[in-house]
Chains A and B, each alone.
Chain A
Amino acid sequence: MEFGPIISAMRRNKVGAILIAVQMAITLAIMCNALFIIEQRVALSQRPTGADEANVLLITNQWVGNPPDASARLQGDLAALRALPGVQDAFATNSFPMSGGGSTEGIRLHEDQKDATALAALYFGDEHAITAFGLKLVAGRNFNSGDVVDKVGYTDLRGPTGIIVTRVLADKLFPDGNAVGKSVYGAAVKGQTPIIGIVERLQVPWVSAGGWGSKFNDSSMIEPFNFVSVFPFYYVVRAQPGQMNAVLQSAPKKLFDISRARVIEKTQTMTAARAEAYKDDKGLVVILSVVCAALLAVTAFGIVGLTSYWVAQRRRQIGIRRALGATRNAIIQYFQTENLLIAGAGAAIGVALAVSLNLWMVNAFEMQRLNTGYALIGAIVVLLLGQAAVLWPALKAASIPPALATRAA
């Protein structure tokens, strides 16, 4: 293929060629960044919590009228929930992964340390917490009933007898391993607390992209407390496999049978909590996908429209070329090469544009750096799109009869 005639023809049609190239460049830049965001949000919404999500149920409970026997009521509720048919275990806590609300504690290794060594999400729970969430204990031991005492709201500042931490937190605090048995200091806890156990994983309550929990996603700890609060708390109930629907009905009913002096704001499965927590991420993924598809379609139609016009404009010249012996393939190749040149220029500008757009977003939105692989994939997509879009006008051009050359215009 000879590029000479193509380039000199393009120079007579500068504006059209530039328009297509710039369109392709912007399409490429938006598309790679959108794909990159999509990939990140999908990964974000698939992070595990460490819990047996399919079988865990969460009931938001608040007492009415500040009952003096709240501690006994809590134990009564828990005993009833654990005795329900289809229930594996249950416990009461202040928060759960993906709930969006909870408490953070800065953990120090020495008493006089100024800055915390690690931040950790704080969960309260008794010796049933590990089984009720379905966590995996990987070192040390679970709480026993002797470790667990009542905690009357967040302003009750008594220290825990020992804590269970996630593996990520343990590694952060004691990179050399052997965290079990070592002691740490918490910001709100006076005195030192030994680590008695390590669980494989337990996610923090805050999961939004770039949100509060994004810097310490798997760094959590459980303190051995019965959370006796006049404010809302959660019953975490783990159903036996296949029993979820039955427990979803029977658990809140059982609680109301025990006492009506309560507000149960919500009874939801952990699966539903996940869908709710990541709704905006899923929404963004769908919106960006649709926008990408629309962008590609618009660009493709633009190429079809403009190339068709060029074909119509050059009917006579094409006829002459055919009459002089050019094959149909040569005509098709002409338009395809022309498009390849334009798209190639567009892709080159587009890759540069994509990278600078990403750099700007890194600063403005605290995004991650674009993987250059995305820019290359985008460039290939744009080149193929151009080739596909130009095919129909090129075929039309190839069907122009050579006899046209002999007729007057």
Chain B
Amino acid sequence: MFTYYFRLGLRSLRRNMVLTGLMIAAIAVGIGACMTALTVFRAMSGDPIPQKSNRLFAPQIDNWGPDKHNGGAADRLEFQLSYIDAMGLMKARAAKHQSAMYATRLPLRPADAKQKPTKVFVRAAFTDFFPMFDVPFKFGGPWSAADDESRAAVVVITKDTNDRLFGGTNSVGKTIRLDNEPYTVAGVVDDWRLLPRFYDITLRPFGDGDAIFLPFNRAIDKKMRNVGSTQCNGDTDPGWEGRLKSDCVWLQFWAELPAETDVQAYRAFLNNYAAEQQSLGRFHWPPHTQLRDVMQWLQYMKIVPSEVRILILVSFGFLLVCLMNAMGLMLAKIMGRAGDIGVRRALGASRAAIFGQCLIETGVVGLAGGLFGLILTALGLWAARSLLTKEFVALAHLDWADTGIAVLLAVSATVLAGLYPTWRAAHVQPAWQLKTQ
């Protein structure tokens, strides 16, 4: 019966090509607009590290006091830590893994001295960074905790950097030159994409990432200045030493807390830490701290730009208009066939049978609209990629999930829109229709 109705549906669609075309076009355009916006949104608001996003936490400590936040966040917290506080948390080692970190930019000297040096993002971190974020290694591995302590000249480089410098061969033990200083390669990271790069979102979270990692303490010793956000409040002493002693916030900090009890314990620890700073006379205010996991952090930092939200809103409004349009046309089409339906009913077809037949017909329209909509979505994404900066759409591409969502959305929305016309069709009075024939 289904295949028969399906064929009937196709035939009836063919009977009024203009109306059918308009319906399918309306649905396709609506689905295309919606899916383009939705795909960009999904890519931007996705979970960068689904296997442990609820076990990684960013702590915040108010080290400025209640009346010193320059028109900043409403919660009176800065999103980064000062050197003093980051080192305080590092020393306590209250989490399974933890790392203070910051990004710097250094010239990378190519092996061939005639070539011009290139600038790369270099991240200073502790060795915990790698197990904490599940960083996969192609060759070698992280540097050791002893290297952290001894401020060793070791680096971990990404696969791209390794390809560029060593042609993709195993470079563990070899030397690279960063800003004239030699560094020994301890490990090469395999393909590793975190999108968005949640651990430091002030630095193009959707753009190019860190190329090289080196021990945090060494970077501090070598006075490597940070790139990204630095916020100071009040006077500081001059020079690098002044920066380290200051309450300027410029470091990111992440901790891995495997169980809910660890999270509770860490919250208590943060409060104790702040209370201790208060009793030492550094803070003149009661403890004010916060702990957020990855997804809470991304939301807190408003990672999805308002432009994308505006586009989502506009495109869903657009889809609504397209569906109402299709609904009106379907109503016209089905009621135009009231005569046929009357004859079928008179010949013994039940209301359910008529209902089913019309439902399948609208389903066919939805399916066709969805398929054309997919083509329009691909077109829309291509247009968005050329119209907007990489930040927005570099990572937006159609995957199987998006394709499924598009077709499902198209069919279900169309069938939903078709329910009323279908219901009207099922209630055609056979006698009345036959009389007017």
Which residues of A are in contact with B by a Cβ distance under 8 Å?
Answer: 15-16, 19-20, 22-23, 26-27, 29-30, 33-34, 37, 62, 64-66, 106, 114-116, 119, 153-158, 187-188, 190, 209-210, 230-232, 256, 260-265, 276, 279-280, 282-284, 286-288, 291, 294-295, 298-299, 301-302, 305-306, 308-309, 312-313, 361, 364-366, 409
Interface contact B70-A280, CB-CB below 8 Å:
no
Return A30 CB to nearest CB of chain B, in Å.
5
Contact yes or no, B321 A287, CB < 8 A:
no
Evaluate whether A305 and B22 lie within 8 angstroms (CB atoms) in the complex, with A30-B317, A157-B237, A188-B236 already known.
yes
Given A16-B331, A306-B328, the answer on whether A26 and B317 have CB atoms closer than 8 Å is: yes
Contact residues in A for B225 (Cβ distance below 8 Å)? 153-155, 230-231
- Chain B nearest CB, measured from A60 CB (Å): 9
Mask, B231-253, CB within 8 Å of A = 1, is 01111111110110000000000
Are A15 and B420 in contact (CB-based, < 8 A)?
yes
Whether B310 is near chain A, meaning CB under 8 Å from some CB there, is: yes
Q: Which residue of A has the minimal Cβ distance to B104?
A: A231
The answer to whether A287 and B109 have CB atoms under 8 Å apart is: no
Is B365 part of the contact surface with A, judged by Cβ < 8 Å?
no
Name the one of B109, B234, B318 contacting A294, with C-beta atoms under 8 angstroms.
B318
A301: chain B residues within 8 A (beta carbon):
22, 25-26, 325
Beyond A114-B67, A156-B238, A209-B307, 9 extra complex contacts between A and B, CB < 8 Å? A33-B314, A154-B225, A157-B239, A260-B116, A280-B307, A284-B310, A284-B388, A298-B321, A302-B329
> Are A294 and B29 also in contact (CB < 8 A) when A286-B387, A305-B332 are?
yes
Q: In this complex, what residue of B is CB-closest to A300?
A: B325
A selection of 6 A-B contacts at a CB cut-off of 8 Å is: A27-B321, A265-B119, A279-B387, A287-B311, A291-B315, A298-B318
A119 CB → nearest B CB, Å: 8
Main secondary structure of the interface of A (DSSP, over half): helix
Are A283's CB and B234's CB within 8 A?
no
Which residues of chain B in 87-137 are interfacial with respect to chain A, using CB atoms and an 8 Å cutoff?
A: 105, 107, 109, 116-119
* 8 Å CB contact of B331 from A15, A276, A282: A15
Min C-beta distance of B315 to chain A, whole Å: 7
Residues of B near A232 (CB, < 8 A) are 105, 119
In the complex, which residues of chain B have a beta carbon less than 8 angstroms from the beta carbon of A187? 232-235
A365 to B30, CA, bound (A): 24
Report whether A305 and B329 are in contact in the complex, using a CB–CB cutoff of 8 Å. yes
Cα–Cα, bound, A263→B180 (Å): 13
Contact indicator per residue, chain B 16-49, by CB within 8 Å of chain A (1) or not (0): 0001001001100110010000000000000000
**Is B284 positioned at the interface, with any CB of A under 8 Å from its CB?**
no
Instruction: Looking at the assembled complex, report how far the CB atom of A320 sits from the nearest CB atom of chain B, in whole angstroms.
Output: 15
Q: Which residue of A lies closest to B70 (CB)?
A: A106
Is B336 positioned at the interface, with any CB of A under 8 Å from its CB? yes
Contacts A34-B314, A301-B26; A157 near B328 (Cβ below 8 A): no
Instruction: Mark B355-378 against chain A: 1 for CB-CB distance below 8 A, else 0.
Output: 000000000000000000000000
**Chain A, residue nearest B179 (CB):** A65
Cβ-based interface call for B155 (8 A): no
Which residues of B have CB within 8 Å of A295? 318, 321
Give 6 nearest A-B pairs by CB, closest first: A309-B332, A283-B387, A65-B180, A302-B325, A157-B238, A283-B388
Residue of A65, A188, A264 near B235 (CB, 8 A) is A188
Q: How far is the CA of A116 from the CA of B311 in the complex (A)?
A: 37
Decide yes or no whether B389 CB sits under 8 A from chain A: yes
CB distance B332 to A16 under 8 Å? yes
Smallest CB-CB separation from B32: which chain A residue?
A294
Check A263/B119 contact, CB under 8 A, given A232-B105, A280-B307: yes
Residues of A within 8 A of B346 (CB): none
On chain A, the residues within 8 Å of B107 by CB distance are: 62, 64-65, 263
Please indicate the chain A residues that have their CB under 8 angstroms from the CB of B238 in the complex: 155-158
Tell yes or no: B261 within 8 A of A by CB. no
Query: For A16, A312, A366, which residue has the most chain B Cβ atoms within 10 angstroms?
Result: A16
Give every chain B residue within 8 A of A115 (Cβ-Cβ): 70
| B324: Cβ under 8 A from any A Cβ | yes
**A20 & B67 in contact (Cβ 8 Å cutoff):** no
Q: Of A16, A263, A313, A365, which is within 8 A of B306 by CB? A: A365
Residues on A with beta carbons closer than 8 Å to the beta carbon of B180: 64-66
Residues of B within 8 A of A64 (CB): 107, 109, 117, 179-180
Contact string, B372-415, partner A, CB cutoff 8 A, digits 1/0? Answer: 00000000000110011101100000000000000000000000
- In angstroms, Cα B109 to Cα A260, docked, is 12
